[in-house]
Amino acid sequence: MESVQGLLLAMIIVAFGTTTHLIQAQPNPNEFISLDCGLHPAASPYTEPLTKLTYTSDANFTQGGQSGRVQKIYEQDYKPFTVLRYFPDGIRNCYNLKVTSGTKYLIKALFLYGNYDGLQNGPKFDMYLGPNIWTTVDLTSSIFGSDKEEIIHIPTSSSLQICLVKTGKTTPFISALELRPLRDDTYNTTSGSLKLIKREFASNDFIPPFIRYPADVYDRQWDPISPSFEFNFVNTSLIINASTPYELPQEVISKAVVNQNVTEKLSFDWYVDDRNDHAFIYLHFAEIQTLRGNDTREFDITWEGDNQNFTVSAYRPPKLQLETLYNPYPMKCKFLDCTVDLVMTKSSTLPPMINAMEAYKIIEFPDAGTNPEDVAAVQNVRDTYELSRIDWQGDPCAPQMFRWEGINCSYTNTTIPPRIISLDLSSSGLEGVIASSIQNLTLLQELDLSNNNLSGEVPEFLANMESLLLIDLGWNSLTGPIPQALRDREKKGLKLTVQGNPNLCLSASCNNNNKKVSIPVIASVASVAALVALLTLFFVFRKKTPLAEGTAAATTRELPRKSSIYSKKKRFTYSEVEELTDNFKRVLGEGGFGVVYHGSLSDTEPVAVKVLSESSVQGYKEFKAEVELLLRVHHINLVSLVGYCDEGGHLALIYEYMANGDLKQHLSGESAGSTLKWASRLKIAVEAAQGLEYLHVGCEPPMVHRDVKSTNILLDDRFEAKLADFGLSRSFCVGAETQVATVVAGTPGYLDPEYYQTNWLHEKSDVYSFGIVLMEIITNRSVIELTREKAHIAEWVKILISGGDLEKIVDSNLGGDYDSNTVWKILELAMSCVSHSSSDRPTMPKVVNVLKECLISENSRIRGQVQDDDSKNSLELTVAFGTQVTPDAR
């Protein structure tokens, strides 16, 4: 047990009455944000009679919700907050507040149900600060249906989103929302924000029921201490010097509590929700009694925590002077009960005394919000076009389950801000010119503004957005010529769609005198005739060539099976990397390692170039591991390494280009293609499993991938699956030693719990992760989803399997087009892969065999359903497993 002597005394040792505190600026109530939620704008603003603070309507701070009023029998008790705002529509509804970044705020939310809906059923819902959950508001068991949530929080940007999230059948609501700036030198923590548990002062007088502004300049609400027959209360009419950073009201600090039995310790309890919660206690003291000559008030302060003790020995409160003591770092309580004891010392003649106390628990906010520049840009787009989509509230990308409709984002890990990579505003009723703020979405890859009423010219700034791969401006009212710079971008792979704009000039050189209208018309007719002729020839001579499924525009042209560059792995200079990426012109994505760029060799063979950033958390060790692995192994289902660069601090990996992104994109709908059919999913699963099997049994020495997940299963132009990202891979021995001790690494949700608990890495750790991928393939559900009964997909699937209802498990997008026997077999395989004990999990060769059998069965089912081969337009899947399944390492 750790004991810290005198630790609290040093916390807030104030130079009493110094100039610093005398000139400390008082909080300005004009900086307060006070919203009476549901208040009609015509009744705003008004002066609240108790605090004399000005409250305004919340109408301009949220775009959703409706106004309600508590029933009359509650009005007297709930004044002045008798109206409220409830949110019957949408899942997440948010308030957007302008704040000062880096300023510490006291944030308060008030909920007064008052049976406003006549249902006599208080709701339960979640509250979020930005992308992170703050608290759960639960009024289901409250007699009066009221609650108050309070947190001390430092926003990291100038915009703060406070969101109410529907988690069940009841409707979220809110009565009041208040923000109060605090001093920077108060309520400090090493991490996280402080959620209030209790704030009490030594008073047994319940009239008034609490103290707040203007007595408390920061508008903290002080409640009378819980009554006890063991307490005596004392007070003074003398002025207490409270000029400390915490600046408690005279009404609070001029009162104190002592025990009736002077030999008994004075104890204060509070409770936390979880044994892992960490807490802070703030104890406020001032000696307010006149001590006689021989009187001494001296006591020890102790807090026995879980494996930690805090102790202040022989503490004496300063006479008529406020002093605040607190623990300098978070404490875990024993079980759920936190207790601070004040114990009289042997040399003391008077019992312990305290004036006020505050208790908080730490709330961690680990998830980063969307890149601020992207947020500002997309909000500007929303405001420009006056979009009122119910789900365009809060953070655009985070958390993923509340991502804005029509927006796709790149996600790496929770600490890296997501970036917006796709914006789809088709059929959104847009009018006016193309918003210039779109160009501030600097990593945007796809832009769809089709089927609107946009006017004006096509802006040239679109050509300067180097990440753009697709622009759809079709079916608008655009005019003028297409910028030459955009035409030049088309030659380098940009897909530009502009049909349906009758006044848009499509020829190479445009003039406006309309004298040569017949030329483009004739050209168009000729083009159509040529196209018809080509299509006729195609349908006459076409053969049964399998098509890639899942893309909006599948192609039938035969592509080279494998480029020659993939067998010529080599070391590149940095100047060569610059050249093949055209000076890092086109960004494909961004991750913890760095930025991935599009490149090409000899302008014909595309590659993906991953450049290590100087602040990379993956670092040189992982870079080296990936190079060493991929230079010595080769398999058709592992992403090939073309080469690497390690020159003068410049590190880069050059891979074969995987044109169809990752499996997660196609399951979640982030890609523009159609839903992956069941046979396609099985084929991808087989191919990914073969890549993993090769690492386990085909390599010498065998390898463990350590980060198997759906975003690391990439798809090439033929929709063939390849395993990627080997920076965390580790080798292990065979025979007696089949596991190795390592620092735990991987992705939450996919991480083997046995590996996490023991630090012993095993090939079966990859099997567990692959089992999670199989569940994603079957269900198309997130691995971690906080809103369902069981957040983790394995636990959720286990519950549904016990009920035997396959339709609740399988992705509804499949429309029932699958053999239930095959699905059950894959489910059984997935569940065996995620067994808690690694010894109960199958090997990857066993996994591959089961998957092959299921794919063959599914292909047989499909062929049996097809009556006319020439009418088929879906992907015909075949299984071709040859000697490449486990080739020799090289």
| Catalytic sites, residue numbers | 707
Q: Could you tell me the two tokens for 307?
A: 């494996």
Q: In this structure, are residues 482 and 501 in contact, taking their beta carbons and an 8 Å threshold?
A: no
Query: Which position has the token pair 């269900």?
Result: 779
Q: Which of 196, 448, 248, 456 is nearest to 356 (CA)?
A: 248
| Beta pairing class for 193-201 and 146-153 | antiparallel
Identify whether the C-beta of residue 617 lies closer than 8 Å to the C-beta of residue 570. Answer: no
Q: Which two tokens stand for residue 396?
A: 């655009």
Q: In this structure, how many other beta carbons lie within 10 angstroms of the beta carbon of residue 467?
A: 19
Half-sphere exposure of 249 (CA within 13 A, CB side): 19
Is 255 one of the annotated binding-site residues? Answer: no
- Three-state SS letters, 668-730: HCCCCCCCCCHHHHHHHHHHHHHHHHHHHHHCCCCEECCCCCHHHEEECCCCCEEECCCCCCE
- CA distances to 425, 598, 812 from 721, rounded to whole Å, are 31, 20, 23
Spatial distance between the Cα atoms of 833 and 76, rounded to a whole number of angstroms = 60
- 330, 95 contact by CB (below 8 A): no
Distances from the Cα of 54 to the Cαs of 34, 83, 887, in angstroms?
A: 7, 16, 75
Whether residue 80 is preceded by a cis peptide bond, meaning omega within 30 degrees of 0, is: yes
Closest to 94 measured CA to CA, from 372, 363, 399: 399
- Residue burial 286-316, b: 16+ Cβ < 10 Å; e: rest: bbbbeeeeeeebbbbbbbbbeebebbbeebe
Which of 341-356 are b and which e, b meaning 16 or more Cβ less than 10 Å from the residue's Cβ?
ebbbeeebebbbbbbb
What is the full DSSP assignment across 411-425? ---TTSPPEEEEEE-
Instruction: Extract the annotated binding site.
Output: 610
Binding-site residues from annotation for ATP: 610
